[in-house]
Amino acid sequence: MDCGTHTRNSHGATWIFTLFMALLGVFCILFEPGFGHRLYALPALCCDLGLLVVVLLVADCAAPRLSKVLRLVLYVVLYAVALVDVACYVRLQSPITPIWVEVTLLTGWDEARETLTSYVTPALLLSRVGIVVGLMLLNVAACLWRERLCERLPRLSSRTKRVGGFAAVALWVACTCFSYEERVYMYYRVVRQYDELEVQQIRDFSPKAKYYLPVWRLAYSLSEVHQLRVTRLALEKGIGRAAVDSCDFTSPHIVLLIGESCNRRHTSLYGYDKQTTPHQCAMAQRGELVRFDDVVSSWNVTCESFQYMFSLYTAGDTPSIPEERRHWYDYPLFTELMKRAGYDNLFLSNQYVLSKGESISAYKEDVFLNSPRLSQAQFSRRNCERHTYDEGLIDDFRRLSDPAAPHTFTIFHFLGLHTQFRERYPEAWNHFKPADYPRTDLSEGQKTILAAYDNAMRYNDHVIARIVELFRNRDCIVLFVPDHGERIFDHGTEWGRNLSWEPDDVRPQFQIPFWIWASPTYRTRHADLWQCIRQSAHRRFSTDRLPHLLLHLAGLHTPYYRPSSDLLSPDYDEHRPRIIREERNYDRLVKNPPK
């Protein structure tokens, strides 16, 4: 359709836009270690770019001036974001992420100017950033000389134009169909701002391209930052509302050990044929430690597991509670209640660390720990550095603990058995070898991973034993609970966590070890409570109800306490559904009927 000379010029500008944005997109896909698979990213690029071209061509005919402004805005945004993203890769070895966006939003103008001055150097232009700058300059030249370039291009016949147009449309339709699921996933994740769980509840998505372009990484990061701020504001709004009626300080000293990625089947405490937890086994044999038989984590991801473990919300509450209290962050954090009651709260983590002078931690997900206000409301003190190995937390405890405090609550959060298992223990703890595993279905490399996991478990047991000894002569009770489990070649040749609902995948990821240890003094002074703990060892339990158990041990009275969620209460509801990932009933899924 002929819309006049002005429109034809606009069409030419649109095709130049298409060419250079395709080149920019291909560069970002091929030369940046992106979030997704490159093979799937290229059709996604064709789909997204084709949609932009349709919008611009329609604007060329309907409103040429608007089309010109729209192209200019797209040029500025897409090139600027690409430059920043590539520069981040070159200087920081990381793309645009939510944590960097959060840092940027919290940075003052003077600090930002100093950072730019130190980062933007001539050497940066000699890196991949220079390629983007060069492409941008060529784009500017092509736009300025558009008419001259068009004159030199060969004239195409009407038939060639029709065939080319049909081929382009067919390619776009094919790429759109190929990447349809990717686009729907992005729509829910970025546009609708659903979290990963909400998206997976709609459909079992398996996105492969994901945030494949810098502009999508920025959009995702802005969406995540917005959601985190909503959550943080809700939590901060609740500071001070956590009512504490009274506290008996039943347990003067309480220690909570939070493990990382502990597969219950790989602990000798639960019958594993390798001696991975000899200290825990010895404590159980001496009658100091009570092992619980049937405990599951609410999540197989650390951040969500932490949120449910700290909040007085329990999974499955949503249908029966008012609209204003439908999320975990609408409830108080039990750590705030403990501190308000009079406990001296010490938080020692080898993952979630709030560095000196910063208002965010290195983990964007730990929103209830990121805020200085929330951290101050929950903890008296906390460490500010991570360690290569978890044993470093013991030195932090000696430095930060208050020996004179009459009532203390201490949390040790391990890095434990997180992903790179071989990096979780010193060389001297390389006890198990691949030759110790006579499994013909596993390769030598897989046996090496398996041995490293068991070695990390054995070192973790050593750290736990050292911590327990710190409290042996106090009136103290110690609880051990991991954030979640881990798949370690349990039912095949795969390892690592996933979103599968297959029972053989669910069990190792959600079924976790859980035990309670008490010092000799504690067992003597609280004989009835210790007996109650021993009698509860066979009850089924889930980590989202842990706060109610801890309130019982503290003797803390609050309107938020629910006996039906307290493992030690005579009113405990053992048959309450154990909901995992806020979606499915664990016991129905793995066919584990109530006793």
Give the least confident one: 17-21, 577-581, 589-593. 589-593
- Rounded CA gap, 228 and 102, in Å? 10
Whether residue 258 contacts residue 515, with contact meaning beta carbons closer than 8 Å, is answered with: no
pLDDT band at 322; cut points 50, 70, 90: low
Count of Cβ atoms closer than 10 Å to residue 583 Cβ: 13
Q: What is the dihedral of CA 523, 529, 533, 539, to 10 degrees?
A: 180
- Mean pLDDT of the chain, nearest integer: 85
Is pLDDT at 277 greater than 70 in this prediction? yes
Q: What is the mean pLDDT of residues 70-89?
A: 90
Of 373, 381, 375, nearest to 401 (Cα)? Answer: 381
Is pLDDT at 357 greater than 80 in this prediction? no
- Burial of 213-236, coded b for 16+ CB within 10 Å and e otherwise, reads bbbbbbbbbbbbbeebeebbeebe
pLDDT (tens digit per residue) in 14-44: 888 888 999 999 998 887 655 557 778 888 8
- Rounded CA gap, 400 and 90, in Å? 38
Of 62, 61, 77, nearest to 24 (Cα)? Answer: 77
**Terminal Cα distance for the chain, rounded:** 74
Count of Cβ atoms closer than 10 Å to residue 268 Cβ: 18
Q: What global pTM score does this model have?
A: 0.75
Whether residue 49 contacts residue 164, with contact meaning beta carbons closer than 8 Å, is answered with: no
Of 68, 236, 220, nearest to 143 (Cα)? Answer: 68
pLDDT (tens digit per residue) in 467-499: 999 999 999 999 999 999 998 888 888 887 877
* pLDDT confidence of residue 114: 54
SS3 288: coil
CA 135 to chain centre: 36
Of 350, 366, 349, nearest to 305 (Cα)? Answer: 366
pLDDT (tens digit per residue) in 182-231: 888 888 888 887 776 667 667 777 777 778 888 888 888 888 888 778 88
Is pLDDT at 320 greater than 70 in this prediction? no
Q: How far is CA 220 from CA 111, 147, 185, 355, in A?
A: 25, 38, 12, 25
Q: Which residues contact 121 (CB under 8 A, 6 or more apart)?
A: none
Strand partners, 580: 584
Residue, of 318 and 431, whose pLDDT is higher: 431
Give the least confident one: 93-102, 441-450, 544-553. 93-102
Domain boundaries, the chain: 5-227, 252-589
Please identify which residue in the block is written with the tokens 């920043």. Answer: 84
Is pLDDT at 94 greater than 50 in this prediction? yes
Is pLDDT at 361 greater than 80 in this prediction? no
- Rounded CA gap, 208 and 167, in Å? 26
Residue 321 token pair: 């509670």
For the domain made up of 252-589, the CATH class stated in words is alpha beta
- Rounded CA gap, 503 and 8, in Å? 61
pLDDT band at 362; cut points 50, 70, 90: very low
Residue, of 543 and 226, whose pLDDT is higher: 543
Type of residue at 437 = Y
Of 282, 325, 329, nearest to 308 (Cα)? Answer: 329
Is pLDDT at 103 greater than 70 in this prediction? no
Share of the chain above pLDDT 90, in %: 43
Whether residue 334 contacts residue 544, with contact meaning beta carbons closer than 8 Å, is answered with: no
* pLDDT confidence of residue 109: 56
Is pLDDT at 77 greater than 50 in this prediction? yes
Q: What is the mean pLDDT of residues 398-418?
A: 94
